[in-house]
Structure 1
Amino acid sequence: MTKVQNMMLFGVLAVVWGSGFTAIEIGLDSLPPLLFGALRFDIAALVFFGLVVASRAQWLPRTRDDVGLVLTTGILLIGVHFALLFLGQSYVTSGVAAIVLSFTPIVTPALALKLLPAERVRAMDVLGLLVGFAGVIAIATAGGSFGGRLIGVVLLLAAAVAFALGSVLTQRLSRTLPLVSLQAWSMLVGAATLHATSHLHPLESVSGVDWTASALAAILYLGIVCTVGGFLLYFMLLDRIGATNSNLISYATPIVAAVFGMAVLGEPITGTMVLGFALIVVGFALCKIRPLWKLTRTVQRSRQTPPVPGTATVRVHGNDYSRTYHGTSSPPHTRAEHPIADD
């Protein structure tokens, strides 16, 4: 039952985040990209601060790392990332946007190598980066066009790099602030960053906004369902199945986005999109070949090994120790099963 529940959570999150790209496409028909992104996180920040009050969680950052996490998450992971995302998607379809953003887990190891002393480069990481980048280039140059599509893909690629950079920088910090409070502050900072960017952008003006019903619906859907609901689902999934499994959502989301874009907006799914996505997935597999191999072996062992009656399992410091008895004449033995490393 637990495995079924995990699969259902994974599927719901893929639908929530994948459909978000369709909602962005709908909202961009009448809203300026940066203002649209800012309004999305205005709503999300309000909801998260409501959750902070309701849960009576510690709300004020107390340490330098807490402040650093709020600023890094708010400015880079939300402000810069979504500014580039919304601007980039104004040039391409929702399916293309989701596929290019799936490049994020591939570029992350390259940035970690520079910023995290414990990281080291591997040949597979370099190969995976090159293969994944080839997929992005294939999508950017589809049909020999170097016009708006290329601009959009470059902006989305920059959004992926900004998110990867923010993710790596946050690994250098430790928090004392509860997660719900961190999200609330981060989204407030992210919304402020997007509002400031929108105000400075020469082509954006609040006075010229067409407040249609579909635009308002897109803002509410993105703010409440995709942002608040999506983040809560993601962290729930992270707690249940770990980072290695949870990060595979990056490769389920583009499939959902492409299907929603085709069904709702009539966007085509081209052979170049499929090829580009396949190359990005191969690139990810090369970068993550060690944790994925460990994951595959663990799943195979769990399926092949039948449960032993009378076996007790105890978790100590992240390791599972099972004590099995083989009759009264044989002494018991203890076996350690090490958990999968979440690289």
Structure 2
Amino acid sequence: MPDSRFWDRSTSPTELDRHALHSRPTRVDVTRHRNLLAFLVLAVLWGASYPAVKAGLAGFPPILFAALRFDLVGLLVLGYVVVSDRRWRPSRTDLPNIVAGATLFIAVHNGLLFVGQDYVTSAVSAIILSTIPVLSAGFARPVFPEERLTPLDVGGILIGLVGVVVIAAPNPRIATTPDLFGVSILLLSAAAFALGGVVTRYLRPVGPRLPLAAYQGWTMLLGGGMLHLGSLALGERQSVDLSVSVVVAFVYLVPFAGALGYLLYFDLLDRLGPVEINLVGYVSPVFAALVGWALLDEPFVATTALGFGVIVVGFLLVKRRAIRAQLVGA
């Protein structure tokens, strides 16, 4: 039925326009909803990647698994950059940053991550990796003196590490206490990523540089090559025991959690900034726990949840100024 106001001569066109303006979602609302949807999709994709890695380890040696994944994801991401007609050839000034990123972000971080996941549940892996922003603050201080650490910052870093201890602490009443070796390896993995963020920022070239997607593509390809060398050096078998679950896990990790996940990350990083995008690390463990429980029958114990809560408190303390600035500017 037509709106009766269109038949009411006492209603002016201006009033009708004003009603139409307020009755339809604004462009800001649409953008906010789009960002939220993309954020949740990314959290799901990356959260589910932890159980996928766990499932894939049944057929792959860990370092070889990581190497093959980043070979293909790097090709997909770099191919996207070439097709989208962006600059993709690195200059000489880009090379130190690419080498540092390939070494720390891809080779060391992911090599340790894939090894460590063989010893703990998907949820524990995701939660230990959520310490990255907290560790980054500690590594940045000696390199960037202007980023002064206050007592609250130091307290936040220590609280985040206490959260890891809570997760890893042996409890004889709980048969599923995370393996201390696995937790230690994953903490080193998180530290490598956090250190990579500081080092690549320090080496960032002055002036024009590669688009972020092109940079990531090159670091993945170079880092994948480093992982292959590491796999050979450690004497891993260079064969794969294929099964349906292993194939499904690998397919998920390459085009979905890999290429699509990173492209979503680049897009959100441009539109939200580093503080808000860091929060993905605090949402993805929820999906890691749910998928691990549903598909791999992994338990999720109270101490894991408690440790996660402690890590989140540490993050909020370390990032309190940036979060406050985002809220004030919203």
Give the shorter-chain TM-score range: 0.7 to 0.9
Asked whether the 8 Å contact 2:168–2:178 carries over to 1, the reply is no
Instruction: List aligned pairs for 1:124-135, cutoff 5 A.
Output: 124-135=152-163
The alignment status of 1:210 with 2:241, answered yes or no, reads: yes
For residues 66-116 of structure 1, what are the alpha-carbon distances to aligned partners after superposition, in whole Å with 9 as ceiling and x for unaligned? 101211111110110000000000000111000001011101011000122
Q: Aligned with 2:171: secondary structure? A: helix
Gaps of at least 5 residues in structure 1 are 300-343
Report the CA distance between 1:221 and its aligned residue: 1.4
Identify the match of residue 79 of structure 2 among 40, 44, 50.
Answer: 50
Asked whether the 8 Å contact 1:39–1:219 carries over to 2, the reply is no
Q: TM-score, normalised by structure 2?
A: 0.86
AA aligned opposite 2:234: H
Which residue pairs with 1:201 in the alignment? Answer: 234
Task: Please give the root-mean-square deviation of Cα atoms over the aligned residues, in Å.
Answer: 1.8
Q: Aligned with 1:187: secondary structure? A: helix
AA aligned opposite 1:99: I
Q: How many residues align?
A: 296
Instruction: List aligned pairs for 1:129-144, cutoff 5 A.
Output: 129-144=157-172
Which of the pair has the greater relative contact order for Cα pairs under 8 Å at 6+ separation?
Answer: 2
Q: TM-score, normalised by structure 1?
A: 0.82
AA aligned opposite 1:231: Y
* CA pair 182-11 structure 1, distance change in 2 beyond 3 A: same
Asked whether the 8 Å contact 2:213–2:266 carries over to 1, the reply is no
Which residue pairs with 2:151 in the alignment? Answer: 123
Asked whether the 8 Å contact 1:43–1:220 carries over to 2, the reply is no
Greater percentage in helix: 2
Q: Aligned with 2:179: secondary structure? A: helix
Asked whether the 8 Å contact 1:41–1:191 carries over to 2, the reply is yes
AA aligned opposite 2:125: A
Greater percentage in strand: 1
The alignment status of 1:161 with 2:188, answered yes or no, reads: no
- In the alignment, the residues of structure 1 paired with residue 35 and residue 87 of structure 2 have an alpha-carbon distance, to the nearest angstrom, of 29
* CA pair 148-273 structure 1, distance change in 2 beyond 3 A: closer
Identity %: 43
Gaps of at least 5 residues in structure 2 are 1-29
* CA pair 147-194 structure 1, distance change in 2 beyond 3 A: farther
AA aligned opposite 1:10: F
The alignment status of 1:238 with 2:266, answered yes or no, reads: no
- In the alignment, the residues of structure 1 paired with residue 226 and residue 176 of structure 2 have an alpha-carbon distance, to the nearest angstrom, of 30
The alignment status of 1:59 with 2:88, answered yes or no, reads: yes
Report the CA distance between 1:297 and its aligned residue: 3.5
Asked whether the 8 Å contact 1:125–1:287 carries over to 2, the reply is yes
AA aligned opposite 2:139: L
Instruction: List aligned pairs for 1:14-163, cutoff 5 A.
Output: 14-64=43-93, 66-144=94-172, 149-163=179-193
Which residue pairs with 2:24 in the alignment? Answer: none
